Structure 1
């Protein structure tokens, strides 16, 4: 590159350098500063132009010198150039001719090429059309394959094929109309798949519902087998009796006999959940799981309603109606629980328990409505057995049985009423048909049977008994004892491992037994005390005595057999007090009869209280009275316990003494003669001698007042009665009010005796005789007519 031009140098030299530049760029770069300076300085611009013109002239001169030197060569070159030009023209003509020939062939070739291009385009279009057609045919084949799979029940495969068709193959033909048509049909196809799988699921559910009863029957059978195995284990180990069916201990002990009710070859039960799983998977794939869950729940609720009949016939001999109903519920509930365990987010425990509660309430309503038709406790016990088996089977599937336990409580109430009614009729018949005579026993075997069923202990050892013999109670007592034991046993039959209200059984048993004993035994016996036959009253009293003993034994028995472990304290039967009160009533009734007889005998006493001659013999009424007291002790009262006999005798003698004492105290008796006192004292002494023969000092105390009163009437010094010290010593048992009255009558009677004696003598002298007055035996002084 030339060096930079200094503006101070000569312009000619600068122009010269510019012309020597090797390129236009250098020329421009060197000329630009000069032109810039020339624009600012007009004089300098003129110099530049001159310099340039000078350079141009020098160059033209140089060219001219070169031309002048080489002219001939230039001419030769021109000639040669002309020849060349001529050849070039010829060549040009040939080239033009060749070009025309080539153009002609090229046009033909272009036409052929155009035809070829057109044919290739058509072929390409055909190929593309063929390819598009094949792709569309493949799409149609896949679409048809979805329907074929659907027809073959391959629902999930159909859904997978539809998904592949939609997400893969339709994208390849997305520019074609068929893609749009198939795309629009995809939702409809999905609905077809969903409906088909739901139809298959409904068919599966229908079959499951049809098999529910059989499944429940098998569940009941195996639950009963578990019961039997548990009972066998309890026999071997009493400790296991503390654990009920479905307890942890029982489940562990029964592990060796595991049984899958949903898959058992022996019972031919095969519950395949594949249709359910497939339906769930398909609906989940379709994003319609909530819809499926809702529809499945609604279907199960409808099926549940189909299980519930309008009514139940509880009177069937084999309980087929009730059993079938409970088995159907059990099978349905088992499938529900198994479905919940095998699936996720399909059936919640709330859904399953809601259906279970609904079925339980329906069962409770149906059974409760039919209870009024049952009048047999045995039938009700069978029904309870089926329900208890149902509960135990369902407990093993973790279902709550609280509401059914309430139904069992209702059944037990009905059962206890029927049982009470039946035994009430039995007791009533036993009491009404009894002969009320001591029960004869002819053999030791009969004696053992009676002792085994009744609460009776003989005074003699069994080995010392001689037969035939007579037991103190009548036949009704052992018969009632048999019924009492049967009643207890049948009441406890209702209690088992599944009845959780053992305290209710204990309380109901106590109350029912109390009512039976009080109303149908004790009350009826007390009503029969109105009899006028002392022997029958005595037998009733004896029976009441033994029933009281039996009640005490029953209290102990009920306490030991009490099934509720939470109950505390002793058991007291109201019947015990009722029988005790009945005994007192019977004793009073015997007192009444005995005292009434004593009253009748004493009313026959005929004393002439103003007689002047004592009776030669004991009064007839006194002889009859002592004979009656002797006979009743040795016959009628013989079967009574000693203490009761003594009490009756004590009361009878006390009453007799009171009634005898009332004879001289009668207001009609104004005066009592000494002879009448002797007669009266002789009768009293006869009674006292009779009592002495009984060898019971306590009984003799009843006569103390009577004897002291007679002694007071016989005393020669009546003033001793008014002396406190003497009275307490000699007449301490004499009534303070009666003593003065009798002394007054005796004092009046002493004067009457003298008057009667004088009158008699005068009448005799006048020829009139006075007959003897009659005493109780018809003797004694009295006026003759």
Structure 2
């Protein structure tokens, strides 16, 4: 009976082992094996209690358990060393892990410190860059201000040295390029507000030189008038010789005489340096003050002609030289006007010159009219004055001026 129970227990153990090995995979086969083990366990327990062999069954179960414990001890003894080694390795790995964790924590702390230092250095670098940018902006601003100061100083030197073309160019660079770069500074705004003063200074300097030139023209214009008068007197001599050689006397106009004498006339006219006038005109054009300068020039020329015709003269044979000098001045004055009109017609109009010419002839007529009794009472004075006015008429006609009023005056005085 004991052998039978033991065999049945062994079958159950084998069946349970098969259930354990099959339990690795979850499926219908493992479930059925467990059910079979339970079905076999039931009849075994029933037969034990029916045969009243509970004590024997317990003994067999204890023996079976002892054998299994022995097997387990043997199995554990075989794997105990490996288990101990594994545990030792695990403890070592754990220790290494702890050390590694400590190192990681330390490295993290060092990294945090390094990161903080790097952050501080980066912040310092950014601050230095901002400071460098501010310094560079300041340097650029100072350099721009220095350029402006140099331009202003150069402008003053150029005006003082009468380099007006360079000065107007410097002023243009200052207004269009340099000042806009420093306008945000009070220094730049102050200089910008002084631009009109600088323009006025340049205009006044150029105008002063032009007025000096006009004043210096007095001697030049008299030389021009004397030269042209002498030249015309030589032509009149040639005309007299030509007329004396002709058997049949026909009237030949002065215009025809001028054409006939062109091939024999090789005298070079006296040159007049008009650079101060053109320079002043250019500067006023650049400054937008052309109309103002034109009015000023017209007034100055009118005043200058009035001064010429206001010279005291007396019609006496021994004192006719002052009147002839006045005629020289008038000739030179209007020859210069003719030159200005020809070279700058958009500045000096023909109407302006004709107005001056008419005013000059009217003033000259008044001067002669005041002494008409003296002139008619002395044939020598009358003849000398007639010759001077005739030459004067030819000279002005040669320079494209209308001399009809002069001829009418001579007709009224001398009857010719």
Tell whether the 8 Å contact from 1:312 to 1:367 is kept in structure 2 after alignment: no
Distance 1:206 1:135 in 2: 43
Counterpart position of 1:324: 325
Counterpart position of 1:248: 256
Please list, as runs of the form range in 1=range in 2, the aligned pairs for 1:587-602 lying within 5 A after superposition.
Answer: none
Counterpart position of 2:397: 395
After superposition, the Cα gap between the structure-2 partners of 1:207 and 1:350, relative to the gap in structure 1 and judged at 3 Å, is same
Counterpart position of 1:354: 355
Tell whether the 8 Å contact from 2:317 to 2:381 is kept in structure 1 after alignment: no
Tell whether the 8 Å contact from 2:228 to 2:395 is kept in structure 1 after alignment: yes
Counterpart position of 2:409: 407
Tell whether the 8 Å contact from 1:337 to 1:397 is kept in structure 2 after alignment: yes
Distance 1:234 1:262 in 2: 30
Distance 2:193 2:348 in 1: 34
Tell whether the 8 Å contact from 2:314 to 2:323 is kept in structure 1 after alignment: yes
Tell whether the 8 Å contact from 1:230 to 1:250 is kept in structure 2 after alignment: no
Counterpart position of 2:388: 386
Aligned-residue offset at 1:226: 1.2
Aligned-residue offset at 1:107: 3.0
Aligned-residue offset at 1:230: 2.6
Counterpart position of 1:290: 291
Tell whether the 8 Å contact from 2:311 to 2:326 is kept in structure 1 after alignment: no
Tell whether the 8 Å contact from 2:361 to 2:406 is kept in structure 1 after alignment: yes
Counterpart position of 1:181: 190
Q: Does 1:147 align with 2:137?
A: no
Aligned-residue offset at 1:85: 8.3
Q: Flag structure 2 segments of 5+ consecutive residues without an equivalent.
A: 1-24, 31-86
After superposition, the Cα gap between the structure-2 partners of 1:84 and 1:165, relative to the gap in structure 1 and judged at 3 Å, is farther
After superposition, the Cα gap between the structure-2 partners of 1:134 and 1:238, relative to the gap in structure 1 and judged at 3 Å, is farther
Q: Does 1:262 align with 2:264?
A: no
Counterpart position of 1:665: none
Q: Does 1:338 align with 2:347?
A: no
Tell whether the 8 Å contact from 2:313 to 2:320 is kept in structure 1 after alignment: no
CA RMSD of aligned residues (A): 3.0
Tell whether the 8 Å contact from 1:314 to 1:371 is kept in structure 2 after alignment: no
Distance 1:166 1:193 in 2: 14
Distance 2:212 2:345 in 1: 22
Counterpart position of 1:549: none
After superposition, the Cα gap between the structure-2 partners of 1:279 and 1:240, relative to the gap in structure 1 and judged at 3 Å, is farther
Counterpart position of 1:217: 226
Please list, as runs of the form range in 1=range in 2, the aligned pairs for 1:515-526 lying within 5 A after superposition.
Answer: none
Counterpart position of 1:194: 203
Aligned-residue offset at 1:285: 1.5
Aligned-residue offset at 1:220: 0.8
Tell whether the 8 Å contact from 1:209 to 1:303 is kept in structure 2 after alignment: no
Q: Does 1:302 align with 2:303?
A: yes
Tell whether the 8 Å contact from 2:235 to 2:261 is kept in structure 1 after alignment: no
Counterpart position of 1:461: none
Larger Rg: 1
Aligned partner (choices 168, 171, 179) of residue 162 of structure 1: 171
Q: Deviation digits for residues 337-391 of structure 1, max 9, x if unmatched?
A: 1110111311111111111111111111111111223422222111111111111
Aligned-residue offset at 1:228: 1.7
Tell whether the 8 Å contact from 1:198 to 1:279 is kept in structure 2 after alignment: yes
SS at structure 2 position matched to 1:346: coil
Distance 2:260 2:165 in 1: 42
Q: Deviation digits for residues 446-466 of structure 1, max 9, x if unmatched?
A: xxxxxxxxxxxxxxxxxxxxx
Please list, as runs of the form range in 1=range in 2, the aligned pairs for 1:558-569 lying within 5 A after superposition.
Answer: none
Distance 1:239 1:129 in 2: 94
Aligned-residue offset at 1:236: 4.9
Tell whether the 8 Å contact from 2:159 to 2:202 is kept in structure 1 after alignment: yes
Q: Deviation digits for residues 136-183 of structure 1, max 9, x if unmatched?
A: 111110111111101100112101011012111223334333322222
Distance 1:162 1:202 in 2: 23
Distance 1:311 1:152 in 2: 39
After superposition, the Cα gap between the structure-2 partners of 1:273 and 1:311, relative to the gap in structure 1 and judged at 3 Å, is closer
- Could you tell me the TM-score, scaled by structure 1's length? 0.40
Q: Deviation digits for residues 643-679 of structure 1, max 9, x if unmatched?
A: xxxxxxxxxxxxxxxxxxxxxxxxxxxxxxxxxxxxx
Aligned-residue offset at 1:84: 8.0
Aligned-residue offset at 1:259: 3.1
Q: Does 1:172 align with 2:181?
A: yes
Counterpart position of 1:128: 137
Aligned-residue offset at 1:326: 1.5
SS at structure 1 position matched to 2:288: coil
Distance 1:321 1:204 in 2: 24
Distance 1:368 1:112 in 2: 102
Distance 2:407 2:251 in 1: 20
Counterpart position of 1:275: 276
Name the structure with the higher helix share: 2
Looking at both structures, which has the greater relative contact order when contacts are Cα pairs under 8 Å and sequence separation is at least 6? 2
After superposition, the Cα gap between the structure-2 partners of 1:180 and 1:307, relative to the gap in structure 1 and judged at 3 Å, is same
Distance 2:90 2:214 in 1: 112
Aligned-residue offset at 1:333: 1.2
Tell whether the 8 Å contact from 1:226 to 1:254 is kept in structure 2 after alignment: no
After superposition, the Cα gap between the structure-2 partners of 1:115 and 1:353, relative to the gap in structure 1 and judged at 3 Å, is same
Q: Deviation digits for residues 391-428 of structure 1, max 9, x if unmatched?
A: 11111011111221222123225xxxxxxxxxxxxxxx
Count of aligned pairs = 334
Aligned-residue offset at 1:251: 2.1
SS at structure 2 position matched to 1:278: helix
Aligned-residue offset at 1:303: 0.7
Distance 2:211 2:275 in 1: 13
Distance 1:282 1:81 in 2: 101
